[in-house]
Chains A and B, each alone.
Chain A
Amino acid sequence: MAAADSPSAALRRDLCSRGIRLAGKMRADVVDLLDAYVEQQGLDASASVAAVEGVPLAAVERWDEQTGTQRLLENLAAYRAFRALLAQMLEEQREQLGEAEAGLGRALAALLLQVSAFAYHLEELLRLENRGIPGEEEEEEDGPPPPPRLSLFEQKLRGLGVLRELAQWAVRSVRDLRQLAKPSPATAAAPGLAESP
Chain B
Amino acid sequence: MCSRWSWVACAFYLVLNICSPDASSGLVQSCGHIIPESPVLALGSNFTALCILNESCLDFGNIYASQIIWKIKNKLVPKEQYREINRTVSSVTFNDTSSLATPLTCNILADGQIEQNIYGITVTVGLAPEKPKNLSCIVHQMSRLTYVMTCTWNPGRHTFLDTQFRLRYSWPEEIFPDCIPRDVNNSCTVTDIQFFVNTEIWVEATNALGKAESDPLVVDPIDIVKPLSPQNVSVSSGILPTVLQLSWENWISDAVMTLKFNIRYRIVGDTNWMEVPSEDTASPRTSFSVQGLRPYTEYVFSIRCMKEDGVGYWSDWSEEKTGITTEDQPSKGPPIWRIIDATHSPTSWTVHLIWKALKPFEANGVILQYEVTVRDKLSPSSPVRKYNVTGTNHTLQLPEGTYEVTLIARNSVGASPPSVLLIPASNSKAPVKNLRTLPKHDKLWVGWTAPNSYVLKYVIEWCLVSSSSDCIIEWQIALGDVQGVDLKGIKPFKCYLITVYPLYADGQGSGQSVKAYLKQDRPSKGPTVQTKKVGKAEAVLTWNHLTVEEQNGFIRNYTILYKTIDGNETVVTVDPSKTEYTLSSLTSDTLYTVRMMASTDNGSRTGPDFTFTTQKFGKGEIEAIVVPVCLAFLLIVLLGVLFCFNKRDLIKKHIWPIVPDPSKSNIAQWSPQVPAKHNFNSKDQMYPEGSFTDVSVVEIEADDKKSFSEQDLKPFDLLKKEKSTSEGHSSGIGGSSCMSSPRQSVSDSDEGETTQNTSSTVQYSTVVLNGYRDQTPLQVFSRSESTQPLLDSEERSEDHSGGADSTTQRQQYFRQNGGQDETNTDRPCFERTKQITHDNEGDLVGFVQLQISGQSSQPLGLGMEKNIQEAALSSVIQTCTEGQTERPETVEENPLSVDEMPKSYLPQTVRQGGYMPQ
Contact = CB atoms under 8 A, between A and B. Distances in A.
A45 interface: no
B195 A25 contact: yes
A21 B222 contact: yes
A78 B196 CA distance: 19
Interface stretch (B166-174, B496-504, B900-908): B166-174
Contact of B196 (A18, A27, A110): A18
A28 B196 CA distance: 14
Contacts of A18: 196-198, 220
A70 interface: no
Contact of B197 (A22, A24, A27, A109): A22
A116 B197 CA distance: 10
B171 A28 contact: no
B307 to A, nearest CB: 11
B622 interface: no
Contacts of B194: 110, 113-114, 117
B3 interface: no
A21 B195 contact: yes
Contact of B255 (A28, A113, A117, A120): A28
A120 B256 contact: no
Nearest to B222: A21
A120 B192 contact: no
Contact of B171 (A19, A25, A120): A120
A25 B192 CA distance: 15
A117 B192 CA distance: 14
A123 B198 CA distance: 14
Size band of the B side of the interface?
10 to 19
Nearest to A17: B196
Contact of B195 (A22, A109, A121): A22
Interface string B375-388: 00000000000000
Contacts of A21: 195-196, 222, 255-257
Interface in B237-263: 253, 255-257
B600 to A, nearest CB: 75
A32 interface: yes
Contacts of B505: none
Contacts of B174: 113, 116-117, 120
Nearest to B191: A106
Given A18-B220, A21-B222, A110-B192, A117 B253 contact: no
A28 B256 CA distance: 9
Contacts of A19: 196
Contacts of B2: none
Given A18-B220, A27-B255, A32-B145, A116 B171 contact: yes
A22 B193 CA distance: 13
Nearest to B253: A28
B145 A117 contact: no
A139 B173 CA distance: 17
Interface residues of A, number: 17
A21 to B, nearest CB: 5
Contacts of B220: 18
A22 B199 CA distance: 14
Interface string B261-275: 000000000000000
A133 B842 CA distance: 202
Interface in B91-148: 145
Nearest to B256: A25
Interface in A95-148: 109-110, 113-114, 116-117, 120-121
A113 B596 CA distance: 93
A63 B197 CA distance: 26
B255 A24 contact: yes
A59 B222 CA distance: 30
A116 B171 CA distance: 10
A170 to B, nearest CB: 10
A166 B145 CA distance: 19
A22 B256 contact: no
A25 B255 contact: yes
Interface string A136-180: 000000000000000000000000000000000000000000000
A140 to B, nearest CB: 16
A76 to B, nearest CB: 12
Nearest to A27: B255
A113 B199 CA distance: 12
Contacts of B173: 116, 120
A183 B220 CA distance: 24
Contacts of A22: 195-197
Interface centre among B172, B196, B197, B257 (most CB of A within 10 A): B196
A90 B3 CA distance: 83
B536 to A, nearest CB: 110
A25 B253 CA distance: 9
Nearest to A19: B196
Contacts of B253: 25, 28
A21 B256 CA distance: 7
A113 B192 CA distance: 10
Interface in A66-112: 109-110
A117 B197 contact: yes
Interface string A22-61: 1011011000100000000000000000000000000000
7 contacts: A18-B196, A27-B255, A113-B174, A113-B194, A114-B196, A117-B171, A117-B174
Interface of B: 145, 171-174, 192, 194-198, 220, 222, 253, 255-257
Interface of A: 18-19, 21-22, 24-25, 27-28, 32, 109-110, 113-114, 116-117, 120-121
Given A25-B195, A110-B192, 15 more contacts: A18-B196, A18-B220, A19-B196, A21-B195, A21-B222, A21-B256, A22-B195, A27-B255, A113-B194, A114-B194, A116-B171, A116-B173, A116-B174, A120-B173, A121-B197
